[in-house]
Structure 1
């Protein structure tokens, strides 16, 4: 900006020539300059006011838009962030099919120490050991008196323990909040649930991660914030599960068995209503795994899924059902049952001598090894192997548990005539009780393949037709006769049309051969036989019961079958099944024969 001089020389000279006062020129220029300054100030003030007005409009407009967005959105509960943003401590609940809680979270506290802040380290160590007897006082003394600035003492505290530590009054003992996994039903369904441990952790938060069972199989889903806390709904029914576990535990004691397992499955959906393995454990205090010895000696071992057993005569229905489907036989076809039967250098015998001929029906009813082998020979090794593969007996079950892949059946690589013979009556091939339950469910489901699941309401995949419906119904009718007049008469529960097959298999020795006094007994069943709804498989490991005459009884008809009958009596009312009889009788109170009576706790 070029400023005009107050006394311009040219005008001053002209004013003097004309006799005018030069000071008037200066006053005029000064007034003009002041006017320009005032105009510039007014313009600046005007611009500032416009800018401030626009700023207020934009600010209040943004606030108004945000308020509008909040008013139009759905209300949500604010989430509390842990001290470490990288640790996700939330974990969804697990419930049974009716919403009863099987696993949930509990707010608790951890205990740690800052030794440099401790007033009386020696006294604190002694008092902590009195509260937690499993702590090592020498180790605590060393940690508290050394150079360490931080010491973990306890990852989880009960309210009583926390109060006792608080009463010590030691400023160097500190508490950190965290969530722990709680299983309110203790041992019930422990193998299904599995358990959890702590992953990433700090003093204010801890990551809970699954280590076994569905907790591990669904670990990512249970920890995913996108699920908004929705629970994992299992197919289990907690009341049925508890009832089966109680009967199974009592039966295991009465039969002097090393272990036991039971599986109750819906025929149409494959949903597992109850699944138990004994001995079990409390997932709130999960034991440590065995580092040596037989894995089945550990309570962590899930016999239902991980157990690989030769399941004996329960397999006999498979070649018979296949031969019925191929119309190679009928229930009344007479089969050569003369014993012993020789295949190569091997002899195959029956438990009893049943004569030179048996009908197909009596082969199943009396459980003839020789008769079953004759039927398997009609099929041929290739067709027999293909059928068992279609039943899922060559692959791991698709069950939603971390242990499921470890239970893949042990199948012979070669399938010569002698293998085909032994497999037909359940030897030479080892599968889990869950595999057997799925295969029996396939027969009970009019021959359509059934795949087990632990998730309630999951749409079942349409199974392939493994057997014709007619052959499946005939197989069910044969197994019904096993219960009414055959080896499983002790499993006949009046009013529920139990159909099933017993199986007794000697346990193999680690170095080859079989034990003569150790076996696995199984009863596989479906009920009601006329319209199957449920499959029950019950297995006892090394059972032995003494008869009234002092004889030692170890076969499935004397051990597994009566225990299965008691399970059916207990759970059918809980399942809402009414007995198919005109005369109403109290099913739960009907006792077993005195020699095998189960005493409920």
Structure 2
């Protein structure tokens, strides 16, 4: 805007020529300027008044229309809504390899209270305690009659409980929609599924988060909307899993064991068909973790992956298989088994006296410690260590469970001759039953390393060849003899060609040394030998079975092996395996038997 000068030069000069006063020109221009400013201010004020009047008309008109609409509508009960962004709680289902549901979502409701809106708090407390006996009446009364404006009463309630609360008729008791995680099979596969809990929650919804097992390992995937609701398909077979848990539970009771675990694995893919740990729990009502004492005393403890055990004579096949692969021995090779055997200042004994020498076949079938150590010495400590490392005994199993990394084997830092000797028959190195199942699967599939997994049909690269196919077949032949004429005879299931090895190891004391009356008994196996498909490992923690004369037996041949035999008898038909005849055994070189009495070990 161009402003007019108060004392324009041209007018000043003309005024002076005419004898007029130039100050009058300035006064005139100043008056004109003030008049323009007043006109402009008046116009702006009028515009503001027009706008405010229009706003009032629109606002009161809107209110009038809304009031008219409400007056003409049906009356409804007002509901409290949560403020802020909606919580996304949709979580994908978990299913077994057949598509049967292992974990899913259930729409339910939560119960909360606005005490300031209550009409009769005392009556509300009495009725709620009647519906939910676990509520603390005194504390609830204090909360309802105090200064609190909001409190949770129940994070999830059943439809029957919701109706009972609704019948109280208390306006201060309110419901919120809630999606909860449901495990329809109860205890079955509880250690694998793990469990879930609520994360960030509001009155309208809540996040569901995994707290253990595959629920936590795949938590991000299960909550990812990009998966479009596709379920997570596990390698488990629900029917086989249920059968395993039933046999394992009954076997643990019969053998008076503190705990038990079983693992059934496809040896070609590494997929775990069933895996159980006893005692177990219901993930719908997950117990609290132990805060003191032995972690294995908790039902949450997964013995299959977290347990670290010296697995005894089940290890004896490893140095023998390695020596077969190196061409140092064959099943008929005679080995010095004179007992005791001295290494430095240590003596190594056999469970029974087997004579001056035995064939390799008999060393495995009769479970000779001394014979196994002799074979391990032929292999050499360094190569023995490398072979066990290649089998996966030095690192945690890469299983899709949050608990798996905690099961790192306890491996000696040094590997002197005495360590190489004791490890050869399963002492001095503690690993999980899953490590053992993986190693036996490697022996059974032609010597190619197996990676265990709980996910069905995931593309996986072929494992490293750690043992020749010929040595693998011969090792299976030796394990088959353990079941037909050795300590594993009670695991021999007709028609399914079971090959396996028993192992009994004293439990170490926390303060050092070993218990004299507590053992871990294990049976590790592959079946059927003529066409190996599955590896099974069964472990009992502190078993003790009474025999004739009141004598307690703890060896794996009398505890773990019969339970494993019953398990194979139950699950083999469920796996679609037809009984086969004994004319399809692997090609094993003839052995020489010495006719000694076979004992359980």
TM-score, length of structure 2 as denominator length:
0.83
2: CA distance, partners of 1:483 / 1:545: 20
What do residues 235-263 of structure 1 show as CA deviations (whole Å, max 9, x unaligned)? 00000000110011110110000000000
Residue 530 (str. 1) matches residue 525 (str. 2): no
Would the aligned equivalents of 1:523 and 1:564 in 2 still touch at CA under 8 Å?
yes
Structural mapping, 1:199-598, within 5 Å:
199-581=199-581
SS of 1:304's equivalent? helix
SS of 2:384's equivalent? helix
Would the aligned equivalents of 1:84 and 1:202 in 2 still touch at CA under 8 Å?
no
1: CA distance, partners of 2:531 / 2:284: 40
Would the aligned equivalents of 2:495 and 2:582 in 1 still touch at CA under 8 Å?
no
Would the aligned equivalents of 1:83 and 1:205 in 2 still touch at CA under 8 Å?
no
2: CA distance, partners of 1:582 / 1:384: 33
Q: Compute the displacement of 1:82 (Å).
A: 9.3
Would the aligned equivalents of 1:262 and 1:536 in 2 still touch at CA under 8 Å?
yes
2: CA distance, partners of 1:558 / 1:170: 64
Would the aligned equivalents of 1:314 and 1:501 in 2 still touch at CA under 8 Å?
yes
Q: Compute the displacement of 1:122 (Å).
A: 1.2
Runs of 4+ with >3 A deviation: 81-86
Would the aligned equivalents of 1:83 and 1:204 in 2 still touch at CA under 8 Å?
no
Moved more, 392-401 or 546-555: 546-555
Q: Compute the displacement of 1:359 (Å).
A: 0.7
1:582–1:470 CA distance, 2 compared to 1 (3 A): closer
Q: Compute the displacement of 1:137 (Å).
A: 1.1
Q: Compute the displacement of 1:85 (Å).
A: 3.3
1:178–1:279 CA distance, 2 compared to 1 (3 A): same
1:391–1:582 CA distance, 2 compared to 1 (3 A): closer
1: CA distance, partners of 2:84 / 2:456: 35
Would the aligned equivalents of 1:196 and 1:215 in 2 still touch at CA under 8 Å?
yes
Would the aligned equivalents of 2:192 and 2:401 in 1 still touch at CA under 8 Å?
yes
Would the aligned equivalents of 2:86 and 2:204 in 1 still touch at CA under 8 Å?
no
Moved more, 334-343 or 212-221: 334-343
1: CA distance, partners of 2:268 / 2:359: 31
1:105–1:419 CA distance, 2 compared to 1 (3 A): same
2: CA distance, partners of 1:211 / 1:497: 41
2: CA distance, partners of 1:88 / 1:193: 22
SS of 2:305's equivalent? coil
Structure 2 unmatched runs, 5+:
1-80, 584-601
What do residues 120-162 of structure 1 show as CA deviations (whole Å, max 9, x unaligned)? 1111112111111111111111111111100111101011111
2: CA distance, partners of 1:119 / 1:345: 84
Q: Compute the displacement of 1:215 (Å).
A: 0.1
Would the aligned equivalents of 2:257 and 2:542 in 1 still touch at CA under 8 Å?
yes
Q: Compute the displacement of 1:168 (Å).
A: 1.3
Q: CA RMSD in A?
A: 1.3
1: CA distance, partners of 2:451 / 2:467: 15
Would the aligned equivalents of 1:99 and 1:233 in 2 still touch at CA under 8 Å?
yes
What do residues 432-486 of structure 1 show as CA deviations (whole Å, max 9, x unaligned)? 0000000000000100000100000112321000000000000000000000000
Structural mapping, 1:86-97, within 5 Å:
87-97=87-97
Would the aligned equivalents of 1:84 and 1:205 in 2 still touch at CA under 8 Å?
no
Would the aligned equivalents of 1:333 and 1:359 in 2 still touch at CA under 8 Å?
yes
Q: Compute the displacement of 1:83 (Å).
A: 6.9
2: CA distance, partners of 1:166 / 1:548: 64
Q: Compute the displacement of 1:90 (Å).
A: 0.4
Q: Compute the displacement of 1:550 (Å).
A: 2.5
Structure 1 unmatched runs, 5+:
1-80, 584-601
1: CA distance, partners of 2:121 / 2:219: 40
What do residues 315-339 of structure 1 show as CA deviations (whole Å, max 9, x unaligned)? 0000000010001111111111111
Q: Compute the displacement of 1:84 (Å).
A: 5.0
2: CA distance, partners of 1:326 / 1:389: 17
SS of 1:450's equivalent? coil
What do residues 52-75 of structure 1 show as CA deviations (whole Å, max 9, x unaligned)? xxxxxxxxxxxxxxxxxxxxxxxx
1: CA distance, partners of 2:131 / 2:342: 70
Would the aligned equivalents of 1:339 and 1:350 in 2 still touch at CA under 8 Å?
yes
Q: Compute the displacement of 1:548 (Å).
A: 2.7
Aligned length: 503
What residue number does 2:149 align with?
149
What do residues 183-205 of structure 1 show as CA deviations (whole Å, max 9, x unaligned)? 00000000000000000000001
Would the aligned equivalents of 1:305 and 1:433 in 2 still touch at CA under 8 Å?
yes
